[in-house]
Chain A
């Protein structure tokens, strides 16, 4: 039991929190824009690689690296929104143009990253106060890192909840998410709200990538995995529901660790896909989402 806690449950919480954060970063974009950002996993990947460059190789202080990484993530997402998403959305809000254009950005970021960082995975040392190496806590061998990531994820979820309830811009985002036209009629600057969604989503994605780097290694190949897990967390939790995404992310972490322990690593994605398909067929709106009646 102790080894289960230490080897499966606690790591599951840490990794699951990361998936939940990626899911939340999807939500931040999905809520106002109604689009799923295929490139989001690649922005997460950029976060890890920039942490490698700034923090590890250039030796910047961790806070400075964090701010730089998040700022660049925000800028990349904003550029994506301006160049790739908005033109497609404006032309046909219900079309699939944005699916293709965000896929294009997915490809572009991946290949730019390969040109800059190559394809070899690299180790990133953990941040001060958050060691990935295990130490004895109450007789269990635990890594503080997992707890730290979980705490950060919970804090971000709570912060976003307060932001969306208390601040004017947060309420405007909620209004746009519910009915874009009605919000526009009430004087909400929809364009700005959508851009802000991308800025926040990009910053959070890069933050998550930086947090993940000491656990997963910094490599160009994590982008697809994070798109996979982040989408699953967001969809299972109910698109747009941040608490749901975090809870679903933690569940995914557990599923992954259980599969690793009792089956084989190569089946993790299969198991997650089956869980996702099964759940979406029964509850298309996700575990915590609200069913939306069809409009005729």
Chain B
């Protein structure tokens, strides 16, 4: 998939035009449907021989398949695990309803709910595969699930009626009214609309939309901000499976008979095809894709001579789509839209860049940022209150110097401190301790009992030649690697091994050597991802337009703006897609994202590599202001000049062991260090 399709947010831009584009697929879908309804008023009985060919039946089935596709998009589009097993989940839902209503005398509606739940439960063991293996294993195993479910349908004849299936399902009653095909269609449209809106709210308005895309595209960064990748995948799969089961359950009374032939494996591929055609990971993709593609075989089937080719056509269309239109119809429209509006976005960005980059305004803004940082981070309460006022005035003077672009930043500075409460300082002697860390990869010993203690409120640099184990140590401290021995403590609290998504909850944030941003999302959304661990909205309430969901989103926005101010990226950048920013600014966004989790210890992995001298100086100023605010910073860095300038303490690693430790002068004059670096 190209990155262009991977957008969790609405297309750039606001106003009526954007609103129309955003809702176009929905409107289009409803329009198609309306046409369908009008069409079914026309008697074309001659062309349709059996009940299954009747347009109303087909319209019902279209709605059901659309429902499956909307759910499938969640796990396959947003979370990035392509499921080929949704026809099995659909079948499980249908069989559950058939068995419960016909054999056990349940009412339709409770049976329907049970069908969704059974499908969700059936998906969970399959999802376990995502715990430790990459996505394509999941795809294959979902394919195997279809085979197994089909086997069981035939084999467990006592339960499922075997090959003949279950007969005698009747259309359900709603509010005492027996539903006919037309009434059922209205019901299904309502269900589709409801599910569509719920999921759209989940991905666009709750913290989970960002988490989904982050898990798909930048899993390490997702972990670092506190997203548990497996839980996200498993939950999204369960929701997706529930919807598929629900659709299957709703299907059951339509033909009145359920047998294994109703659930061919090709339909699973068809679901994926529809989602792909619409646009993977776009809210409206499945609606559009299914509406367009569903009509294709019907058109073909009308010509008896072409019917045998319809599945072949599916395959060819799928292949052509993957190769020529990987972002799908909606993705393509969005790209076009961005191209049309992108000019404006770029101009806005360029203007903001020119203004905030102007040397005149720089100092004032940096000072404001630094003072903001003081107030935001771990400082005692009365001091922070004083600093807030200072920062406010400082920011204002900075704004005066930088002109209009920076003005919003200054007005946001007090908001920054208002949203970010101070963290109480603990009495712990050390902010971060690594005690006797040992790690080997196969036969190669990367770290051989490294002990390192970082005092609170200092900048502690870790340097060493390539391969000395600096990054390994950082990866262990943040939970990405599992040490063979030794422990990590943050403010005296022991951190569990190999759980990177837990680090931020201990107050440990990190950045990465290679950029881990979501290029299609705005700068603001990227930083808001950093707030994830501070959120409380779960997936189920995230689907609903509840006040606390909106409040959390607003709180995240404020925090993110505050953090952007801290790193010196003003409001002008907030709406720019992160991928458009120059490299140095992307680095700053990463730091802002790390700060958004409100860490007490910040681990920076070679933050200065790739920056030019001026940018390095700006970065140094930022680090100083963060330290001043009481944040503890661990700096893994190659740039000796920068280290000498910033570090209170330097630890030199060599061949997986601590070679020397102390302030810059001590370390520089240590003969062993000289030998390690200059080769004796």
Contacts and interface: CB of A to CB of B under 8 A. Distances in A.
Contacts of A112: 312
Interface in A70-95: 83-84, 87-88, 91-92, 95
Interface string B461-483: 00000000001000100001100
A224 B147 contact: yes
A225 B151 CA distance: 12
A151 B76 CA distance: 42
Contacts of A103: 84, 269, 272, 318
Contacts of B174: none
Contact of A269 (B80, B140, B147, B323): B147
A96 B144 CA distance: 18
B316 A96 contact: no
A284 to B, nearest CB: 4
Interface in A201-236: 224-225, 227-228, 231-232, 235
Interface string B306-330: 0011011011101101110010000
Contact of A264 (B155, B276, B315, B475): B155
Given A100-B322, A270-B152, A296-B220, A108 B312 contact: yes
A294 interface: yes
17 contacts: A100-B276, A104-B269, A104-B315, A105-B315, A107-B311, A107-B312, A108-B315, A115-B308, A225-B147, A228-B143, A228-B147, A264-B155, A266-B152, A266-B155, A270-B152, A281-B129, A294-B481
A106 B139 CA distance: 14
Contact of A104 (B136, B151, B309, B322): B322
Interface in A223-255: 224-225, 227-228, 231-232, 235
A280 B154 CA distance: 27
Given A92-B1, A108-B312, A277 B147 contact: no
A99 interface: yes
Contact of B319 (A91, A101, A111): A101
A231 B139 CA distance: 12
Contacts of A294: 480-481
Q: Which 6 A-B pairs rank lowest in CB-CB distance, beginning with the nearest? A: A266-B155, A107-B315, A108-B315, A104-B319, A104-B318, A111-B312
Interface in B558-587: none
Nearest to A96: B82
B145 A273 contact: yes
A163 interface: no
Q: Which of A95, A100, A108, A293 is packed against the most chain B CB atoms within 10 Å?
A: A100
A115 B318 contact: no
| A contact patch SS | helix
Interface of B: 1-2, 76, 80, 82, 84, 125-126, 128-129, 131-133, 135-137, 139-141, 143-145, 147-148, 151-152, 154-155, 220, 265-266, 269, 272-273, 276, 308-309, 311-312, 314-316, 318-319, 321-323, 326, 441, 471, 475, 480-481, 512
A170 interface: no
A269 B88 CA distance: 14
Contacts of B1: 92, 95-97
B151 A269 contact: yes
Nearest to B146: A224
B315 A280 contact: no
Given A276-B141, A281-B128, A266 B151 contact: yes
Contacts of A273: 141, 144-145, 148
B152 A280 contact: no
A127 B126 CA distance: 41
A266 B156 CA distance: 9
Contacts of A88: 322-323, 326
B223 to A, nearest CB: 9
A270 B132 contact: no
A201 B487 CA distance: 47
A84 B133 contact: no
Nearest to A41: B143
Contacts of B2: 91-92
Given A107-B311, A273-B145, A280 B323 contact: no
A186 B319 CA distance: 33
Contacts of B132: 280-281, 284
Interface string A249-281: 000000000000000101111100100110011
Contact of B314 (A99, A107, A235): A107
Contact of B139 (A99, A110, A266): A99
Nearest to B475: A296
Given A97-B322, A108-B319, A296-B480, A267 B147 contact: no
B212 to A, nearest CB: 15
A224 B265 contact: yes
B116 to A, nearest CB: 23
B157 to A, nearest CB: 9
Nearest to A80: B319
A104 B316 contact: yes
Nearest to A265: B155
Contacts of B321: 100
A36 interface: yes
A227 B128 contact: no
